[in-house]
Amino acid sequence: MNDYFLIAKIDSVYGKKGFVKIFSFSDYPNRFLILNKVFIDFFDDKKVFFVEKAIKNNNNILLKFKNFNTPDDVKILIGRNIFVDEENLVKLPENHIFIHDLIGSKVYRNNSEFGIITDVLTYPANDVYVIQSKGKEILIPAALDFFESYDSKNKILILKAGDSLYDED
């Protein structure tokens, strides 16, 4: 079974040569400039599309897919999600983690299970982890100051002990 990772959504037709403007969900917009293939979702079925050309135009990313040469050709793509397979994921710098890897991770504090990461909220200053703990949602800034370690293989996040940020009331 292939795993697919959401990276963008097709926003609109651009120009007269079959380009589409996309809305990127990626923190690495330049990734689109080197992609050769993507997967586009059609009714929960991922179809491979080959990227013929990618252009960065001001703050927009424009894509042209092979055999899609006119605005009429690409109309069917508007509003559809763009995915990549694991082979085409961005290689992250040290101390960076994909959100899809964090979701479902067990969180430990003081050698006991504290909760499970259920969501990651993205804000300009930093991300915030939503942790379900004892029937409550606890929000913790995604800052290295609060974490001892993260084991991506086993999906385990260890919080630093003794921080009052997430103490019980």
Domain count, the chain: 2
Q: Which domain covers residue 108, as residue numbers?
A: 99-162
Q: Please spell the DSSP secondary structure of 122-155, one letter per residue.
A: --SS--EEEEEETTEEEEEE--GGGEEEEETTTT
State the distance between the two ends of the chain, measured CA to CA, in whole angstroms. 44
Among the three residues 54, 87, 120, which one is the final residue of a domain in this structure?
Answer: 87
Instruction: Say whether 144 sits in a helix, a strand or coil.
Output: helix
Kindly state the average pLDDT of the residues 51-75.
94
Burial class (CB in 10 A: 0-12, 13-18, 19+), 12: middle
Residues in the chain: 169
Q: Output 53 or 165, whichever has higher pLDDT.
A: 53
Residue 105 has pLDDT above 50, yes or no: yes
Kindly state the average pLDDT of the residues 32-43.
91
Instruction: Answer yes or no: do 103 and 80 share one domain.
Output: no
In a domain, 69, yes or no: yes
In a domain, 138, yes or no: yes
Kindly state the average pLDDT of the residues 71-97.
83
Distance (Å, whole) CA 13 – CA 100 = 29
Share of the chain above pLDDT 70, in %: 88
Distance (Å, whole) CA 82 – CA 140 = 30
Instruction: Answer yes or no: do 81 and 109 share one domain.
Output: no
